[in-house]
Amino acid sequence: MTRIHDHLVEERRDQLAVLRIDREAALGALSGDLVRALGEYLDVLRTDERVRVFVLTGTGKGFIAGADISEYHGVTAEEFADYQQLSRRVFGALESLPQLTIAAVNGYALGGGFEIALCCDLILAADRARFGLPEVKLGLLPGGGGTQRLTRDAGVRFATEAVVTGRFLGPEELQQRGVVSAIHPAADLLDKAIELAEDIAAKPPLAVAAAKQLIRSAVGTPLQEGLTAEHQVLFDLFATADAAEGISAFLDKRQPRFVGR
């Protein structure tokens, strides 16, 4: 366990990095300082070839309760815009990590907290987790991609209702929408996330990374273009040692040993 910031704790396991937002008193609210530290962490993580899967979680009943609202009070329009630009860059850095990313949402994931989860490849939720984009209640709207990413992930009408009411969304309804992959008792959530992360980390890394990139770029890519890209990547993978190993291991009825080449 390594404390890398007042409110960030990292645990390394074989091929995994687990980062926990440790700001229980404010339910994980994202101060500007915390977003900056998260950005610096992600900038290092992206080039760390030892890490294949990244898990982000929170503490207690807060995953991330959004932007730190106390920092919105009395700031200038420029300072407010600076915070939003910083968040946009850092959320984008999370979304574009080469590693597979899992949000283990232990509690409130509101505003920027939900938006951060939407930047992850997979979202696992505790049964007590509550998601939402409540910015409308502040006279604002989501500034970390909520109107764009939730719409792409869950559809226009669902996103509209979520944003204009700002209501809490339970994990079950988000699972029905395909946003949440699985729901676990809060006490088991992190273990389940790590189990899933270990399963993914044991898969051939080139295939996992390529699948992530193709799926991420599918929205917004014309179908024929996407299908051509899929073939190109598949043919490249077919030429790898890992594909030869995976196919041989299946035929030999043994466990494959992947090397990442």
Write out the residues near ligand CAA by the rule CB under 6 A: 26-27, 29, 65-70, 108, 110-112, 134-135, 140, 142-144
Q: Which of 11, 71, 135, 230 is catalytic?
A: 135
Query: Closest CB to ligand CAA among 29 and 119?
Result: 29
Determine the residue type at 171. P
Q: Which of 115, 173, 225, 230 is catalytic?
A: 115
Query: Closest CB to ligand CAA among 46 and 167?
Result: 167
**Segments of the chain assigned E as strands:** 2-5, 8-13, 16-21, 53-57, 62-64, 100-105, 108-110, 122-126, 130-132, 182-184
Give φ, ψ of 149 to 5 degrees.
-75, -40
Minimum CB–partner distance for residue 78 and ligand CAA (Å): 15
115 is known as an active-site residue: yes
Query: Closest CB to ligand CAA among 5 and 130?
Result: 130
The structure tokens listed for 159 are 């996103």
Among residues 169, 128, 124, 127, the alpha carbon closest in space to that of 146 is found at 169
49 is known as an active-site residue: no
Minimum CB–partner distance for residue 237 and ligand CAA (Å): 39
Contact yes or no for 8/21 (Cβ under 8 A): yes
Query: Closest CB to ligand CAA among 143 and 204?
Result: 143
Query: Closest CB to ligand CAA among 139 and 222?
Result: 139
172 DSSP 8-state letter: H
The structure tokens listed for 120 are 């992850």
- The set of residues, in sequence order, having a beta carbon less than 8 Å from that of 104 and lying 6+ positions away, is 55, 56, 57, 124, 189, 190, 192, 193
Give φ, ψ of 5 to 5 degrees.
-165, 165
Q: Residues with catalytic annotation?
A: 115, 135
